Amino acid sequence: MTLFEQFGMMVLRSFDPEKSHKLSIAALRAGLAPLPGPVTSARLKTTFAGMELPNPVGLAAGYDKNAEAIPQLSRAGFGFLELGAATPRPQPGNPKPRLFRLTEDQAVINRFGFNNDGMEVIANRLARCRHSNRKVEIPVGLNLGANKDSYDRAADFAKVLAHCGNFIDFATVNVSSPNTEKLRDLQGPEALEALLAGVLDARKGLKQAVPVLLKIAPDLDTTELSEIAEVARKSGIDGVIATNTTLSRDGLKSAEKSEAGGLSGRPLFEKSTRVLAILSRELGEDVPLIGVGGIASPLDAYTKIRAGASLVQLYSAMVYQGLSLAPRIAHGLEDLLAKDGFETVSEAVGTLRSDWL
């Protein structure tokens, strides 16, 4: 990090975590954050579900929930962005406090509960960005969510895609957040198959068929992962994101370790990478994977790729290392690929999967 970014991080950390999050979005929009522009090379360029990306390092959902800083984030060194989650109607989410830094563990616990401005406001922002003169040159996706009080949560995902789908490059079905009661029940094979069928049916009404991805939880056993892999293969979705946050608290040291919510950051790395490797074994080349969970260095990103991920995503580590982590990881990943003789990212995918099985 530059001295300017170090100072900015110090200022942000003087506020409570949720206030810091909002201030970081405001700083981005005001031009106060480092924006190096696209990070790419012949070795880093890759494709995923028909999308062309300058590098495989993306921003995970949850940071820019309301699509407020797309132009700025697109110039921060990422290869792609995932916004949201968006729900049909705006909702405030769970009571505060609901975001906690676990500094000693380099982790974060959140129980936001899909707080967002709703699909209409978010769709308008996406549309304005897409039709503005400030061209966004990387894929921008949207995480689809369900309202907490919805009578038909499965239908909510299709509603959001139908409303926002013409302004995005991919969509993620998020049935794995632990912060909306019983949402994870939709990961069961019958419920998941029906939900995905509804989303894919909604996609037929778009001007262009966007890739549909599925984001799963890390707290699934081998049998459950096999069932999800079978549904993913049969449904015709375009990819799986492994994984969301965990309910586990194993090995934590921080005082906030007992707070309810989903745990992300460093402690999630091994659990999420093992899930990734299992899915990679189950799906082979049929359905590509995005690895997320605990990535804080180029080696972490490289490990995810060699365990089976075609792309990776960051979020919690930026709380401790700043926004410049994205280009640092992209550049470091290029060096690691070159060192091992890989000409492209895709050549390295899954080459050390067996180490995690």
Residue 356 lies in a domain: no
Residue 354 lies in a domain: no
Burial class of 208 by CB neighbour count within 10 A (0 to 12, 13 to 18, 19+) = exposed
324 with 35: CB under 8 angstroms? Answer: no
The SS3 assignment for 265 reads strand
CA dihedral 180→185→188→191, nearest 10 degrees, is -90
Angle between helices 3-12 and 17-29 (to 10 degrees): 140
* Look-up of token digits 């991805």: 213
**Which residue did the predictor score with more confidence, 206 or 178?**
206
What pLDDT score was predicted for residue 207? 96
Residues with Cβ within 8 Å of 40's Cβ and at least 6 positions away in sequence, in order, are 54, 55, 79
Residues 313, 319, 323, 327, CA torsion sign? negative
Rounded Cα distance, 138 and 143, in Å: 16
Q: 164-189 burial by CB neighbour count: b if 16+ within 10 A, else e?
A: bbbbbbbbbbbbbbbbbeebbebbee
pLDDT, tens digit, 9 for 90 and up, residues 269-278 = 999 999 999 9
Q: Which residues pair with 8 in a beta bridge?
A: none
Token pair for 340:
């091992």
List, by residue number, the catalytic residues: 177
Token pair for 23:
């201030």
Token pair for 32:
């106060």
Rounded Cα distance, 315 and 292, in Å: 9
Whether the pLDDT of residue 304 is over 80: the answer is yes
Rounded Cα distance, 296 and 325, in Å: 8
What pLDDT score was predicted for residue 68? 97
Phi and psi at residue 315, in whole multiples of 5°?
-160, -75
Q: In what order do the strands lie in the sheet with 107-110?
A: 99-102, 107-110, 262-265
Q: Using alpha carbons, select from 308, 282, 316 the residue that is nearest to residue 100.
A: 316
Domain count, the chain: 1
Token pair for 125:
């922002």
What pLDDT score was predicted for residue 118? 98
Q: Using alpha carbons, select from 251, 246, 290 the residue that is nearest to residue 268.
A: 246
Cα–Cα–Cα angle for 153, 58, 21, nearest 5°?
Answer: 70
When pLDDT is averaged across residues 320-332 and rounded to a whole number, the result is: 97
Residue 94 lies in a domain: yes
When pLDDT is averaged across residues 204-222 and rounded to a whole number, the result is: 96
Task: Using only the alpha carbons of the chain, give its radius of gyration.
Answer: 19
Residue 103 lies in a domain: yes
What pLDDT score was predicted for residue 177? 87
Q: Which residues pair with 171 in a beta bridge?
A: 142, 212
What pLDDT score was predicted for residue 176? 83
Q: Kindly report the CATH number assigned to the domain that includes residue 191.
A: 3.20.20.70
Whether the pLDDT of residue 307 is over 80: the answer is yes
DSSP structural state of residue 61:
T
pLDDT, tens digit, 9 for 90 and up, residues 104-152 = 999 999 999 999 999 999 999 999 998 876 778 999 999 999 999 999 9
Residue 357 lies in a domain: no
User: For the chain, first and last CA: distance in Å?
Assistant: 35
165 with 210: CB under 8 angstroms? Answer: yes
Phi and psi at residue 208, in whole multiples of 5°?
-145, 135
The residue range of the domain holding 161 is 3-349
Please report, for residues 33, 66, 86, 201, the alpha-carbon distance to residue 143 in angstroms, rounded to integers and kept in the order given: 24, 11, 6, 17
What pLDDT score was predicted for residue 120? 98
Residues with Cβ within 8 Å of 30's Cβ and at least 6 positions away in sequence, in order, are none
- Mean pLDDT across the chain, nearest whole number? 96
When pLDDT is averaged across residues 240-266 and rounded to a whole number, the result is: 97
What pLDDT score was predicted for residue 133? 67
pLDDT, tens digit, 9 for 90 and up, residues 221-249 = 999 999 999 999 999 999 999 999 999 99
* Look-up of token digits 């994205």: 326
Q: Using alpha carbons, select from 181, 193, 188 the residue that is nearest to residue 111.
A: 181
Token pair for 215:
């984001």
In the chain, what percentage of residues exceed pLDDT 70? Answer: 99
